[in-house]
Amino acid sequence: MNPEEFRRRGREAVDWVADYMERVEDFPVRSRVDPGETRSALPDEPPEDPESFGALLADLDETVLPGVTHWQSPNFFAYFPSNHSGPSILADLISSGLGVQGMLWSTSPACTELEMQVVEWLVGMLGLPDAFRFEHGGGGVIQHTASDASLCAIVAARERATGGEANERGAGAGGELVAYTSAQAHSSIEKGIKIAGIGRRNLRLVPVDDAFAMRPDALEEAIRDDLSAGRVPFFVTATVGTTSSLAVDPVAEVGSICREHDLWLHVDAAMAGTAALCPEHRGLHEGLELADSYVFNPHKWMLTNFDCSAFWVRDRRRLTGALSIDPEYLRNEASASGEVVDYRDWHVPLGRRFRALKLWFVIRHYGVEGLRRLVRRHVELARWLADRVGEDPRLELAAPVRLNLVCFRHVDGDEASRELLERLNASGELFLTHTELDGRYVLRLCVGQARTGRRHVEAAWERIARTAGELDAGRG
Ligand code: PLP
């Protein structure tokens, strides 16, 4: 494909995406295909001869779209959001066009320095501690996902606790390491603990309070038990905005326990972190000055296409010391000078795309105030919906309503809640998911899609109320 053809086909592809944006609301939100249906619509063998670009685009409509769940639909209220936006998509296209590998400063200085600058911007935008800034010995990096970032935090903490011995002699070096997080933490923490060789049995799931936040007294007790059994506590993850209910762990109290016992404190604010763009939500980050590392995902609620997870450490030498490699074939003068950041040492992969471009485009296109407006709109709509749920005698709120997530259930119990969710999703008009809180089945409705406005949330509520009514009638 020469540049001239690329220009022409590129316009067609951009038109296809723009058309998709215009019609995304018309599709059933959750895909309705059966397992194997998409695959069976594809040929068994790849084409020997070139096919036309037009045929490719046509197959997107016919074969791919039916198997797509429309995450960008304004009626998508499931999981947590995964926003895209025009400037972010276009920046990703440019990143692909440049096709650089930013593993070393010298393999594309702009890739590294633009990233350093946008993560510094984010420190100010979110009111994060200055300790995370490069000039204070910290620093930020864009990782694929929060899962990758948390794994890196665990590995850095493991090396700190073992004086680098785990890297040398294996994860068993330095005694039986123990990590802590709340019983409501995301599964990525358990995954990281397993990958880092700590062992799942050495991850303590600390009990939570009535609002599903970690209980510092229970954390303290668990640490003391492990110490008296001769084990080596080394790592705590606090969550700011848990996946099930957006509970916020008391970071300040957890942090002072970590300081007392010299444990690494990692803070996972995967989705909720974005809310700190608004000064009125900065309280979410209270105590963050005690954290050794912090992650949030612009690819969730900040109009930036997946993948883009922003991760900071207080002491970058701890991270790079744990992850650095230095083969002859990557040696170069700039790295040897010690004056540059080589991001290969900040995460698992060596190669890395020019992901900073999309953050740069998004922040400049919307301005910080534009991003704040998005958060405020979603928070206001979620509150409106929570009020409706609170007024309806057939439903009840299942957790304190924080930010943009409403957790609720049917008062008749799990079976009624499950049926309510199934009927709502089968309608195709909206998509919600569920969780379990206090051992009970709970519907989660998260308002976070870029295109979601008042009319979508009102329509969602109308559908929820109507379906709850139909359910009652059916049972009566
Ligand atoms: N942490 C929390 C609190 C989450 O809610 C999620 C995903 O929803 C993650 C981590 C994992 O995010 P990622 O897909 O970026 O690994």
Residue 349 token pair:
């992969």
The stretches of 353-394 forming alpha helices (DSSP H) are 356-391
371, 281 Cβ separation under 8 angstroms? no
Distance between CA atoms of residues 199 and 228, nearest Å: 20
- DSSP per-residue codes, 118-174: HHHHHHHHHT--GGGSGGGT-EEEEES-HHHHHHHHHHHHHHHHHTTHHHHH-TTTT
How far away, in angstroms, is 309 Cα from ligand 1 center? Answer: 10
**Amino acid (one-letter) located at 213:** A
How far away, in angstroms, is 465 Cα from ligand 1 center? Answer: 30
Ligand 1: which of 242, 271, 444 to mutate, judged by most atoms within 8 Å of the beta carbon? 271
**Amino acid (one-letter) located at 34:** D
How far away, in angstroms, is 247 Cα from ligand 1 center? Answer: 14
Could you read off the pLDDT of 289-316 as tens digits, one per residue? 999 999 999 999 999 999 999 999 999 9
Strand 309-313, strand 139-143: pairing: antiparallel
**Amino acid (one-letter) located at 111:** C
How far away, in angstroms, is 332 Cα from ligand 1 center? Answer: 36
Ligand 1: which of 188, 245, 251 to mutate, judged by most atoms within 8 Å of the beta carbon? 188
Distance between CA atoms of residues 445 and 271, nearest Å: 14
DSSP code at position 413: -
Could you read off the pLDDT of 367-410 as tens digits, one per residue? 999 999 999 999 999 999 999 999 999 999 999 999 999 999 99
Kindly report the CA angle at 338 between 137 and 315, in degrees rounded to 5?
20
Max CA distance (Å), the chain: 78
Could you read off the pLDDT of 23-70 as tens digits, one per residue? 999 999 999 999 999 999 999 999 999 999 999 999 999 999 999 999
What residue's CA is closest to ligand 1, atom 14? 145
465, 392 Cβ separation under 8 angstroms? yes
Give the contacts of 343 (CB within 8 A, at least 6 positions apart): 102, 103, 104, 112, 115, 141, 352
Distance between CA atoms of residues 389 and 391, nearest Å: 5
401, 425 Cβ separation under 8 angstroms? no
- DSSP per-residue codes, 185-249: S-HHHHHHHHHTT--GGGEEEE-B-TTS-B-HHHHHHHHHHHHHTT-EEEEEEEEBS-TTT--B-
pLDDT mean for each 10 residues of the chain (476 residues): 96 97 96 96 96 94 96 98 97 97 97 98 98 98 97 98 94 91 97 96 97 98 98 98 98 98 98 98 97 98 97 98 94 95 96 97 98 98 98 97 97 96 97 97 98 97 96 78
How far away, in angstroms, is 334 Cα from ligand 1 center? Answer: 35
Distance between CA atoms of residues 116 and 417, nearest Å: 46
Describe the chain by its helix, strand, coil percentages, rounded to 5. Answer: 55, 15, 35
| Nearest atom within ligand 1 for CA of residue 309 | 15
Within 6 A (CB) of ligand 1 lie 80, 145-147, 186, 188, 239, 242-243, 268, 270-271, 297, 309
Strand 293-296, strand 309-313: pairing: antiparallel
Q: Residue 327: helix, strand or coil by DSSP?
A: coil
Distance between CA atoms of residues 261 and 208, nearest Å: 21
Distance set, CA 233 to CA 138, 215, 225, 315, 376 (Å): 23, 17, 10, 20, 39
pLDDT at 474: 79
How far away, in angstroms, is 319 Cα from ligand 1 center? Answer: 21
Write b or e for each residue in 378-403: b if 16 or more Cβ atoms lie within 10 A of its Cβ, otherwise e: bbebbeebbebbeebebbeebbbbbb
Residue 266 token pair:
């990692």
pLDDT at 476: 61
304, 329 Cβ separation under 8 angstroms? no
